[in-house]
Structure 1
Amino acid sequence: MTLGDLHNLLKREIQSSTDEIQRSIMEMKDELRKLGTEVSHAQVSSQLATIDRDLNYIQQEQLSNNMLLSNVIKTTDEDLCAIMCKISETLGVELFDRDIFAITRLSTRNAKQIEPILVQFSNRVVKEKLMTAAKNITLSCRSIGFSIDQRIYLNHHLTPKNQTLLQVVRAYKREHSYKFAWFNRGYIYIKNLN
């Protein structure tokens, strides 16, 4: 082998090694790009989840003065303010006209279901007093002047997300023999006496 042949052989070996190193570098760059994209997607997903949680919290805060009355018999000439006043009187909570900002019946998808009454109070304090009093007294339509003895339920007005979550927690409560599951001030709780 001549010196020129040795030189060409070394040159080819060096070129081959250089090509292999460049291919490896390109593969590493591609993998880093993919990894960067995956990290970027994970970060975006995490940020979106945080934004979704915060938005739900803000929406729930906007509903914090609202209460839903379920199972109140509907009549043709009903006065919803008068019904709410009778309920507050039965619960022993003082209620003034200025305490009610708005009151209306909500439509339902099920025509057989009694439409709930949505009450928007001017502040959260009155609503919380009524909700607390309702824990100790069983309200019925008869107790507010109707002839039918049908139970009335007072509930927090929840965002769709919180309503779904509360349903899931209540199902979990039943399946695992927990005693209580409830919503209070933006949070859902579950409790067992044991």
Structure 2
Amino acid sequence: MSTCASCNKKIVSDFAECFECKQKYHFECSINEVVYRKKLNSKQPWKCGSCACRRTIKASEADDTEGATTLSSVKSELLAEIKRLVKPLSESISELKRDVTDLRNFVQHVSDNYDNILTELKSFKSQLSTVTHNCEGLSRQLVEKNGEILNLSTQLNQMEQYVRNKNLIISGIPLMQNENCKDIVMKVAAQLNVVLDPDEVDVAHRLKTNKNTTPLIIAQFTRRSSRDALLAKKKLVVTNAFYPGLKISESIFLNEHLTPLNNKLLMLAKKTARVNGFKFVWFRNKVMVRKDENSPALSIDTEQDLLKKVGQSSI
């Protein structure tokens, strides 16, 4: 009769047998009978506690050995990967060290030459200050010279205008072949009821023109008063054909002989006066303007005068 391997008592009924060691056990000393029967029916061998423990230890030892091998392999792979990653970093660090060395050498060079650089900088600042001072002086001189040039230009223009103070410009007379401009001046004077001796007309002729317009007649008188007597009439409205080519109701205009500068200034003054509400603009030895009948006459010598006394033109 068999005995229980656990309690050493006799087995008198059904029992459980270990698949490994073949020892027998009471069900109450080892495994539930129902569970044991199910294992047998499913062909699953049952092992006693001692056999099951020994197998677990062997499996654990095998797993430990396999784990150690795997860990060693992983460690080797990690070391190889770390070396691969660190290599370019090491190269970069080496290059950075070289750059730092070069920078240190440069800084040392600058430090060694600092005194020379500072001396040169002070010299440059001194030269710059001198140049700036000279430029300011030249600027002041330029302003003064510009003022002098403007004054001289004004004086020269006044002199040129003075030379023309016996001249008269006549427009509106048709051009005829073999005409006598002196006779034309005398006929215009007669139409204006101005008594004029032929000897008072020193010279008269047409002015050259590049445009497709009738050339103007310029007449120079021996006396300024003779010129002024005609100039005061300003305009002649034709009432009879006293000269070939003239038509009734046409107008003949008489104007002063202006310098180019005065002519330009007069035109600009007329435009500016219209913009700024000035009623009267005329020329009598110089450009004159007047706001209205109750305002004083203002003389204009330059464009700066016009801007200051009349205003800015937007035309």
Q: Aligning the two structures, in what range does the TM-score lie when normalised by the shorter sequence?
A: 0.7 to 0.9
> Are the structure 2 counterparts of residues 184 and 144 from structure 1 closer, same or farther at C-alpha, using a change threshold of 3 Å?
farther
Higher relative contact order (CA 8 A, sep 6+): 1
Describe the SS at the equivalent of 1:193: coil
Q: CA deviation at 1:87?
A: 1.4
Supply the RMSD in Å over aligned alpha carbons.
Answer: 2.5
Describe the SS at the equivalent of 2:264: helix
In the alignment, which residue of structure 1 is the partner of 2:302? none
Instruction: Confirm or deny: 8 A CA contact 2:182 2:203 kept in the other structure.
Output: no
In the alignment, which residue of structure 2 is the partner of 1:145? 242
For the pair 1:55 / 2:55, whether they are aligned, the reply is no
In the alignment, which residue of structure 2 is the partner of 1:192? 291
Q: CA deviation at 1:81?
A: 1.6
Q: CA deviation at 1:144?
A: 6.1
Alignment map for 1:34-183 (pairs within 5 Å): 34-111=135-212, 113-132=213-232, 134-135=233-234, 138-143=235-240, 145-146=242-243, 147-149=246-248, 150-183=250-283
Q: CA deviation at 1:171?
A: 1.4
CA deviation digits over 1:20-76, x for unaligned, max 9? Answer: 877665443332211111111111111111111111111111111111000112222
Instruction: Confirm or deny: 8 A CA contact 1:88 1:94 kept in the other structure.
Output: yes
Instruction: Confirm or deny: 8 A CA contact 1:179 1:192 kept in the other structure.
Output: yes
> Are the structure 2 counterparts of residues 143 and 175 from structure 1 closer, same or farther at C-alpha, using a change threshold of 3 Å?
farther
Describe the SS at the equivalent of 1:47: helix
In structure 2, distance between residues paired with 1:167 and 1:23: 53
In structure 2, distance between residues paired with 1:104 and 1:121: 12
Structure 1: runs of 5+ lacking an equivalent: 1-16
Aligned length: 175
> Are the structure 2 counterparts of residues 144 and 82 from structure 1 closer, same or farther at C-alpha, using a change threshold of 3 Å?
farther
In structure 2, distance between residues paired with 1:190 and 1:45: 26
Instruction: Confirm or deny: 8 A CA contact 2:170 2:252 kept in the other structure.
Output: yes
TM-score (normalised: structure 2): 0.50
In structure 2, distance between residues paired with 1:26 and 1:80: 69
Instruction: Read off the aligned partner of 2:216 and give its amino acid letter.
Output: P
> Are the structure 2 counterparts of residues 26 and 98 from structure 1 closer, same or farther at C-alpha, using a change threshold of 3 Å?
same
> Are the structure 2 counterparts of residues 162 and 20 from structure 1 closer, same or farther at C-alpha, using a change threshold of 3 Å?
same
In structure 2, distance between residues paired with 1:141 and 1:108: 25
Describe the SS at the equivalent of 1:78: coil
Instruction: Confirm or deny: 8 A CA contact 2:241 2:247 kept in the other structure.
Output: no
TM-score (normalised: structure 1): 0.78
Identity, in percent, stands at: 22
Instruction: Read off the aligned partner of 2:157 and give its amino acid letter.
Output: N
Instruction: Confirm or deny: 8 A CA contact 1:86 1:144 kept in the other structure.
Output: no
Instruction: Read off the aligned partner of 2:163 and give its amino acid letter.
Output: Q
In structure 1, distance between residues paired with 2:201 and 2:241: 18
In structure 1, distance between residues paired with 2:188 and 2:146: 46
In structure 1, distance between residues paired with 2:238 and 2:184: 10
Structure 2: runs of 5+ lacking an equivalent: 1-117, 294-315
In structure 2, distance between residues paired with 1:193 and 1:98: 41
